[in-house]
Structures are given as structure tokens and as C-alpha cells.
Amino acid sequence: MLWPDVVRRAVKLGADREIVGVYPRRSDLPRSLFGELIGRARARLWFGGYTSYFVWLEVPNAAVTLGTKVREGADVRFLLGDPASSVTASRERIEDTPLTLATRIATTQAEIAKSPEDLPIRMTDRHVAMSVWIFDDEAIVATHIGAGLGQDSVTLHLRRRNGGGAFDRYVEHFEALWTDAQVADRA
């Protein structure tokens, strides 16, 4: 045996090499992480959160920064929940909070509108239980559990290492949802 069990458990050898961190709650992520990921990303910034509301609270001048990324050639996309969906209404009853999903979605749309560039928005209710944010070759994935709000979701930080790993699977997930989602109205 080339690798004793103790070494194999301590050294990441397979697909788990893509796991940068696991957090019991999204709110346990380092507060600066989303800003750092947005700042480092050059080609792809995909926001697949049902509301992505917290981005505007945690990342100063996010709309301007994202507009700059678009001007520099980055693919910036927002996949939001459909505020008129029965899935959204059902989840609002479960969360039972005054700051409803529909309100948080509307806030994100209003913040996106502040960008000097057009930031594409599509809507679907198919990702209510899992959010995926992709920044070049890093991703944050939050799996929503129970009656908790998004910040209570178990969260992974992934970094792409090889093709076909967990990171690529989440990219495929986002792309499938994006393809099927409705283009948001720009009222």
C-alpha cells in the first residue's frame, strides 16, 4: 500500500480537492468573500441565488463594479426567483418573515438597474432550494434547509481543479436553469 489510511484521509486526492471550505450557514462565510470573488473574476460572474439580496448589503458599489466587469468583457448574469410564482408564495409562507422573497427579488432588480451596463436577468422558480454563484473557476453553493432563510443554508466554497468535478456539475446546473428561465421584464 503506497498511501497509508491516515495520509489518504489527510490529503485530498480526488474530487474533494475542489472543496475550499464547508460552512454550516452562508452567514458563516468570511464577510469579504463575495467582494473578493467579484473583484478577482474576469470572465464569468453568474449569480444564481433566488434573491441574491445579500450581495447589495455586503459588496459596496456592487452594481457599478459589475457594470465595469461587463465593459471589460465579463459574462455577468442574474438568475432570480420568479416573484409571481406559487413556489415563491409557498416559500414565503415557510419563511414567515416581513422581508419577503418578492421584496428581496425586487430589491435586487432595483440594484441591478443602477448598473451603468445592461446586466441580464432571467427568472425561474426551479432553484428555490439551492443557490449557485460562479466567479470564473470558483463557486459558492448554498443548499437551503428547513424553514431557514438563505443565510441559514449549508454552504460550500468550490474551486475548479479538473474537468468533470463538482464545480463543473454546478456550472451545468446553472446553464440548464438559465436556458429554461424567462427573460425578466425591464419595466
Kind and range of the H or E element at 24?
none
pLDDT averaged per 10 residues, the chain (length 187): 54 71 93 95 97 93 96 97 94 90 96 94 93 97 84 93 94 96 80
Q: Which of 81, 69, 54 is nearest to 151 (CA)?
A: 54
**Residue 10 pLDDT:** 52
Contact 45, 36 (CB under 8 A): no
Best CATH choice for the domain 30-183 from the list 3.30.870.10, 1.10.3720.10, 3.30.420.40, 1.10.10.10: 3.30.870.10
**Residue 151 pLDDT:** 82
**Residue 170 pLDDT:** 97
SS3 of 76-119: EEEEEECCCCHHHHHHHHHHCCCCCHHHHHHHHHHHHHCCCCCC
- pTM given for the model: 0.89
Phi, psi of 145 (to 5 degrees): -130, 145
Residue ranges covered by each domain of the chain:
30-183
- Separation in Å, CA 184 to CA 40, 45, 90, 109, 181: 27, 18, 21, 9, 9
**Residue 13 pLDDT:** 55
